[in-house]
Amino acid sequence: MSEPFGNPLLVVPDAPGPHQPRSGRRGSGFLDGPLRLGTTPSATVGPYLAIGMTWPDGAWAAEEGTAGAFWIRGRILDGAGDLVADAMVETWQADPDGGFASPEDPRGAASYPGFRGFARSHTADPPGEFAVHTLKPGRVPDGDGGLQAPHIDVSVFARGILDRVVMRIYFADEAEANAEDAVLRALPEDRRSTLLATPADDGYRLDIHLQGERETVFFAV
Amino acid sequence: MTGTTSVGGPHLPRYHREDAALRTPVGFPDYRSTALRAPLRTPVDLAHRLTEVTGPVLGEDRVLPHDADLTLRNGGEAVGQRILVHGRVLDSDGRAVPGALVEVWQANAAGRYRHVGDSFPAPLDPHFDGLGRVVTDSLGRYEFMTVKPGAYPWGNHHNAWRPAHIHFSLFGRAFTQRLVTQMYFPDDPLFGQDPIFNAMPAAARHRAISRFSLERTQENWALAFEWDIVLRGSDQTPFETDDDGDVA
Ligand SMILES: [Fe+2]
């Protein structure tokens, strides 16, 4: 098998490529259409992501001892039902008042004591399990005059996944808010539960199924 | 399309999504571990609301002074060809992305990772751990000194070898811009048999290959490779640069 991937033309340049960001039309003052640089294609994190992507304080979106903080834990499972012990889960969310620790929020960057909004958890220990220490996010506007239910945006990276996959964590004990949430309402009823974390001893639990009968609802962002 | 959506008054950016024909698919049959891991259902479109257009501020507080020079660890010098890797982080609107955290990791010059899971019988280097972190400057520029990583074998298919590469993890301004990818070196003879390289659409592969950068080589010290990284843009600012490449 000399050419297992069967593409003799390996590299087809386009223009302007990312190596020539300064080329192309400029200075004319007119653009006859959107002029965009091509985005860099993603690649798998591979099996050794722990070298570059783990932080000692990674799991702590909320610092230890923050009032109201809890753990969200869960397993990552593949299509055979086996644990995925070399994945990375990253979470991003609003604080309990519905603010984001980000200058990109047009309402202004929020600051909430002891809270970072972001966490990342490798799934090596215990194998296949992630854990983030956080606070329940508040409700934030949905852009159509309503409020979203409390939710956390999640990226999952792993060997064997070439581009991150994105899901949301909602909370099973927020039934009233969940019933009003535009994103949840647009999903078939029998699939919504794949995004609902359920109360547990020290917080909440939600397993992420990459494939299978209970494949998690993943989003294209 | 205006590029913005209204969220109870303030206008939010809407991040442009690259054409599917130019994006890496989540699964690729020749890369065998994707078979049970890449989701099979079509993902559900998620409109960009506040959670998606915001993102964590991760800057200098995540970086230590020695993180930009991977060749100095444990009181000694790493073995291998010294290289300076440099470039800019931009978005697809041509705007620089300043203050962005760039995390890199790589094999040593012999192709061995410092990781319990790596059983390739090539030597570890006591002076190389393969981890680097930098933050882009006000013009979106980054650079770090390292050694050129070796190719390494893996079990995907008979006699499979990964082309030399450096793993990159990037945070832009927003959740939508998050990117993890790999940088390659020019003209690697291993490209043809590597399914991770070939999973990228043919028309996008060159965007993952660095350029030999004679102008930044350091006399009597190091070679240099340049690689610009383009994150998703949001149609917020017209693409317009001056002669220095600075965003006008
Ligand atoms: Fe690698």
Segment A180-197, tens digit of pLDDT: 999 999 999 999 999 999
CA distance B234 to chain A (A): 10
A21 and A56, same domain (yes or no): no
β B223-226/B211-212 pair status: antiparallel
Phi, psi dihedrals of residue B156, rounded to the nearest 5°: -65, -40
Q: Please give the structure tokens belonging to residue B153.
A: 């074998």
Q: How far is the C-alpha of B25 from the C-alpha of A221, rounded, in Å?
A: 14
Q: For A103-151, what is each residue's pLDDT tens digit?
A: 999 999 999 999 999 999 999 999 999 999 999 999 999 999 999 999 9
In a domain, A66, yes or no: yes
Q: Please give the structure tokens belonging to residue B210.
A: 């660095």
Residue B186 has pLDDT above 60, yes or no: yes
Could you tell me the pLDDT band of residue B11, with boundaries at 50, 70 and 90? confident
In a domain, A219, yes or no: no
pLDDT score recorded for residue B1 = 36
Q: Where are the beta strands (DSSP E) in B106-159?
A: 131-135, 141-147, 152-154
A101 and A184, same domain (yes or no): yes
Q: Are the beta carbons of B175 and A12 separated by less than 8 Å?
A: no
Q: How far is the C-alpha of B112 from the C-alpha of A197, rounded, in Å?
A: 39
A158 and A178, same domain (yes or no): yes
Residue B39 has pLDDT above 90, yes or no: yes
Catalytic residue among B73, B86, B95, B165: B165
Q: What is the DSSP string of A85-128?
A: TTEEEEEEE--TTS--SSTTSTT-----TTB-SEEEEESTTTTT
For residues B67-73, give the mean pLDDT: 97
Chain A's closest residue to B131, CA to CA, is A52
How many C-alpha atoms does B154 have within 13 Å on its Cβ side?
Answer: 27
Q: How far is the C-alpha of A212 from the C-alpha of B36, rounded, in Å?
A: 9
A100 and A57, same domain (yes or no): yes
Q: How far is the C-alpha of A167 from the C-alpha of A194, rounded, in Å?
A: 10
In a domain, A220, yes or no: no
- Residue A176 domain boundaries: 49-209
Which of A1-15, A81-95, A166-180, B75-89 is predicted least confidently?
A: A1-15
pLDDT score recorded for residue A62 = 98
Q: How far is the C-alpha of B158 from the C-alpha of B155, rounded, in Å?
A: 7
Q: Return mean pLDDT, chain A.
A: 89
- Residue B73 contacts A, CB cutoff 8 Å: no
A20 and A59, same domain (yes or no): no
Which of A10-19, A52-61, A202-211, B99-108 is predicted least confidently?
A: A10-19
- Residue A33 contacts B, CB cutoff 8 Å: no
In a domain, A215, yes or no: no
Catalytic annotation on B162?
yes
Number of structural domains in chain A: 2
Which of A161-175, B38-52, B225-239 is predicted least confidently?
A: B225-239
CA distance A200 to chain B (A): 25
Catalytic residue among B167, B205, B211, B216: B167
A86 and A2, same domain (yes or no): no
- Residue A52 contacts B, CB cutoff 8 Å: yes
Torsion of CA B207, B212, B213, B214, to 10 degrees: -160
A89 and A140, same domain (yes or no): yes
CA distance B188 to chain A (A): 11
Q: How far is the C-alpha of A20 from the C-alpha of A42, rounded, in Å?
A: 19
Beta bridge partners of B209: B184
A124 and A188, same domain (yes or no): yes
Task: Annotate B161-187 with b (16+ C-beta within 10 A) or e (fewer).
Answer: bbbbbbbbbbbbbbbbbbbbbbbbbee
In a domain, A216, yes or no: no
pLDDT score recorded for residue B235 = 77
Q: Which 3 state secondary structure label does DSSP give A73?
A: strand
Q: Where are the beta strands (DSSP E) in chain B?
A: 4-6, 11-13, 44-45, 72-73, 76-77, 82-91, 101-105, 131-135, 141-147, 152-154, 160-162, 165-170, 179-184, 211-212, 223-226, 229-231
In a domain, A54, yes or no: yes
Candidate CATH numbers 2.60.130.10, 2.40.170.20, 2.60.40.10, 3.40.50.300; the one for domain B4-37+45-231: 2.60.130.10
pLDDT score recorded for residue A25 = 44
